[in-house]
Amino acid sequence: MNILNRFQNLVSDEILAVETLMRQQAEGFNIDLQAALDHLISSGGKRIRPNITLLVGRMLNGDMERLITLSAAIELLHTATLVHDDLIDGSLLRRGIPTLNSKWTPAATVLTGDFMFAKAAKLAAETNSVPVMKLFANTLGIIVNGEIVQMFSSHCQSDTDLYYKRIYSKTASLFETSTTAAAIICEANRTQKEYLRQFGYELGIAFQIIDDVLDFTSNQDKLGKPVGGDLRLGLITLPAILYFEQYKDDILTKEFFQHDCNPPIEILEKLILNIRNSSAIKNSFDKANSHIEFCLKALHHLPIGIERDALEELACFVTQRNI
Amino acid sequence: MNILNRFQNLVSDEILAVETLMRQQAEGFNIDLQAALDHLISSGGKRIRPNITLLVGRMLNGDMERLITLSAAIELLHTATLVHDDLIDGSLLRRGIPTLNSKWTPAATVLTGDFMFAKAAKLAAETNSVPVMKLFANTLGIIVNGEIVQMFSSHCQSDTDLYYKRIYSKTASLFETSTTAAAIICEANRTQKEYLRQFGYELGIAFQIIDDVLDFTSNQDKLGKPVGGDLRLGLITLPAILYFEQYKDDILTKEFFQHDCNPPIEILEKLILNIRNSSAIKNSFDKANSHIEFCLKALHHLPIGIERDALEELACFVTQRNI
């Protein structure tokens, strides 16, 4: 059993139930909408958020039916934000699979995302927990505000604080909600809830840092888009921030900022290659690993057992994955 | 005191509180987002849905703070759907005021709508009622599905059943939720809740029929867009359905359908003028009035008092308004 399988196998039946529940949300509605939801769910990722929620829930002996409902709500919310993101960014592929907006009109894509928000909210309400509902709605607000800030703020900023704020909005907030909401459903005590919040937060931060590293170190086939995609959009992530700090007097660095983060393509390509081969990659990994350490520390305050072992492996997987 | 003032005056302080609460949702978030929300709230309509919720709530001696929260949730949800609608339809004006999409990029408009959905869900959760949350999420699903059905269904259908389904999704569903959710907050008994649901449903249907009549009988200044706007988009509303039934062998009718509801502009202009001057207008009014009668009948089963009188006047106002 490899690292990947361990934490997934433990809740694999529940993950299937989560996917079924997600698909069921379009039942009885428009047939094109059903097809869209099916496409999105079939092409959909590692299910890392539901895995976390379900493992935390099992660790705390929670009601699995409510935890499955919660997990479906979280994954549907996540998928809905990706639908609108891809539309806004004009992305044609995600994980190598055509995005909804590459096949549908912008109007249909906006409405499909809206429908998924509605169904995510419905599922969150079906956990029958008002605190979960509040957490859920707040998290959506944080995610969307993060995107708006990114859209309106002057681009081309190499700033660690801004970067951390952005990845909190984008990723860590929903990881935090995945663990905290599970803790609420399981009626965990205050201390456990706080450790679980920390676990989710640190894991989410590490996850996004690694995503940003992979954007430089992976290849086009695995990414489903060109290497260095963020930098090509003028978006400066941790590997680039660390590189620019180290090579601030370098000619490429200077040219990049002189062109307001939108230099001629040959400069961009060289820069991406340089970042890829620089110590900024290892330094970013080290940052991610330090967040994983915090994450594991928080985990050690939670009940011993196979679920906690699986969550530990899941956390380690986050920095070891290559996609 | 005129008809308009009576039902508005009774809860005018609460309506101000609703608007303040709506504006507060952007506090602490991105400054452009605050400006957008301010613009949307300042340019925002008759507040008929919060008026209904607040009057129902007062009639049943409900907790006004929770009812204000609920009303803000409903009005924010309504405004969010309009933001995405205007973007999808490419509308540049609403009530004569520039729409958000006329000033912002599609991306910023999508995200502002999403933010408002998030905040509407947050406010709904703050009513601390799980049934209200469920109702709320379901209603958003119904509204969005209605738009998706309209987008994917073959246009150019003159069909009363389809029309009623469409106006239920578009308008009556949220009117129904405005009364039903207030009933839930006030812990109304089952019978009262059912009469209030009926009141909201019938009022919403009548409201949308009148909206569709005004689209033919009003003028460009009041509408903020050309007369006959729906028909210009190939969308057949009740006045047109009734006209086409009566004049099915008319040359204009035939030309309209032969051109798949997209005839040369001179035919369209003549048709709009003909519908405007035909008995289809009075017949549509009669239909709306029959729904108002059902609405008033339901109301008579509810507690006597100034709030019930005000709701009666509000219902009558719906068919008497000219905008």
Q: Cα separation of A126 and B131, whole Å? A: 9
Task: Read off φ and ψ for residue B193, nearest 5 degrees.
Answer: -60, -40
Residue B103 has pLDDT above 90, yes or no: no
Contacts 24+ apart (CB under 8 A), B37-42: B37/B112, B37/B116, B39/B100, B40/B79, B40/B83, B40/B100, B40/B116, B41/B79
Residue B119 C-alpha, separation from nearest chain A C-alpha, in angstroms: 7
One-letter amino acid for residue B89 of the chain: D
- What's the sign of the alpha-carbon dihedral A54, A57, A61, A63? negative
Q: Confidence class of residue B210 from pLDDT cuts 50, 70 and 90?
A: very high
3-class secondary-structure state, position A302: coil
Residues β-bridged to residue A98: A93
How open is the CA angle B52-B54-B58, to the nearest 5 degrees? 120
A248 touches chain B (CB under 8 A): no
Q: What number of other Cβ atoms are within 10 A of residue B168's Cβ?
A: 19
Listed residue (A231, A243, A232, A319) closest to A279, CA to CA: A243
Quote the CA–CA distance of A136 and A76 in Å, as a whole number. Answer: 12
d(CA B316, CA B172): 16
Q: How far apart are CA B234 and CA B257, in angstroms?
A: 10
Q: What angle do CA A261, A267, A271 make, to 5 degrees?
A: 80
**Whole-number pLDDT of residue A226:** 84
Strand bridging mode A93-94 / A97-98:
antiparallel
Neighbour count for residue B45 (Cβ, 10 Å): 14
Structure tokens at B300: 């008579």
Q: Are A52 and A200 in contact (CB under 8 A)?
A: yes
Taking contacts as CB-CB distances below 8 angstroms, the residues of chain A near B181 are none
| CB-closest option in B33, B125, B141 to A115 | B141
- In tens, the pLDDT along B105-126 reads 888 999 999 999 999 999 999 9
Contact B94, A75 (CB under 8 A): no
Start-end of H helices in A92-236: 100-103, 106-125, 130-152, 160-167, 173-185, 190-217, 220-223, 229-232
Mutation target vs A (from B117, B135, B142, B233; most A CBs, 10 A cutoff): B117
DSSP symbol at B218: S
CA-CA distance, B253 to A36, in Å (whole number)?
36
What is the rounded CA–CA span in Å between residue B150 and residue B235? Answer: 9
**How far, in Å, CA of B30 to CA of A267, rounded?**
33
Q: What is the pLDDT of residue B101?
A: 87
Instruction: For an interface test with B, give the residue of A122, A127, A143, A170 to mutate (most B CBs within 10 A).
Output: A122
Burial class (CB in 10 A: 0-12, 13-18, 19+), A31: exposed
Number of domains in chain A: 1
* Residue B113 three-state SS: helix
Between positions 31 and 90 of A, the ones with CB within 8 A of B are: 31-33, 84, 87-88
Instruction: Identify the CATH number of the domain in which residue B138 sits.
Output: 1.10.600.10
Taking the C-alpha atoms of residue A123 and residue B136, their distance in angstroms, rounded to an integer, is 12
Q: How many CB pairs under 8 A join A and B?
A: 138
What are the residues whose beta carbons fall under 8 Å from the beta carbon of A190, sequence distance 6 or more?
none
> Is B148 in contact with A124 (Cβ distance < 8 A)?
no
8 Å CB contact between B67 and B190: no
Surface-to-core class of residue A90, CB atoms within 10 Å of its CB (0-12 exposed, 13-18 middle, 19+ buried): exposed
Structure tokens at B95: 């009530």
Q: Which of residues 146-165 of A touch B (CB under 8 A)?
A: 147-149, 151-152
- Residue among B33, B115, B151 whose CB faces A107 most closely: B151
Contact criterion met (CB < 8 Å) for A84 and B110: yes
Domain extent, residue A58, equals 3-320
Contact call for A84 and B114, based on CB within 8 A:
yes
Segment B37-95, tens digit of pLDDT: 999 998 868 899 999 999 999 999 999 999 999 999 999 999 999 999 888 888 887 77
B137 close contact with A: CB closer than 8 A: yes
pLDDT tens track of chain A, all 323 residues? 344 567 788 999 999 999 999 999 999 988 888 999 999 998 868 899 999 999 999 999 999 999 999 999 999 999 999 999 888 888 887 777 888 888 888 888 999 999 999 999 999 999 999 999 999 999 999 999 999 988 887 678 899 999 999 999 999 999 999 999 999 999 999 999 999 999 999 999 999 999 999 999 998 877 777 899 999 988 999 999 999 999 999 999 999 999 999 999 999 999 999 999 999 999 999 999 999 999 999 999 999 999 999 999 999 998 887 66
Between strands A97-98 and B93-94, the pairing is unpaired
Interface predicted TM-score of the whole assembly (ipTM), two decimals = 0.92
Chain A partners within 8 Å of B138 (Cβ): 118, 122
Distance in angstroms (rounded) separating the CA atoms of residues B71 and B262: 40
Q: By the 8 A CB rule, do A15 and A5 touch? A: no
Nearest to A137 among B84, B125, B134 (CB): B125
Name which of B110, B122, B125 is nearest A87 (Cβ-Cβ): B110
Nearest alpha-carbon partner for A288 in A230, A214, A221: A214
Q: Do B122 and A144 touch (CB under 8 A)?
A: no
Alpha helices (H) along B153-250: 160-167, 173-185, 190-217, 220-223, 229-232, 238-246
Query: Coil, strand or helix: which one is A132?
Result: helix
Name every chain B residue with its beta carbon within 8 A of the beta carbon of A130: 125, 128-130, 133
- pTM equals 0.94
Q: At what angle do helices A130-152 and A106-125 cross, to 10 degrees?
A: 150
Going by C-alpha positions, the residue among B281, B198, B270, B278 that lies closest to residue B237 is B281
Query: Which of the pair, B181 or A87, is modelled with greater confidence?
Result: B181
- Tell me how crowded residue B16 is: count the other CB atoms within 10 A of its CB: 11
Amino acid identity of residue B132, one-letter, is V
How far, in Å, CA of B200 to CA of B74, rounded? Answer: 13
Angstrom distance (rounded) from CA A278 to CA B320: 73
Using alpha carbons, select from A6, A94, B162, A258 the residue that is nearest to residue A267: A258
Which pLDDT belongs to residue B309? 96
The verdict on a CB contact (< 8 Å) between B144 and A106 is no
Over residues B277-321, the pLDDT tens digits come to 999 999 999 999 999 999 999 999 999 999 999 999 999 998 887
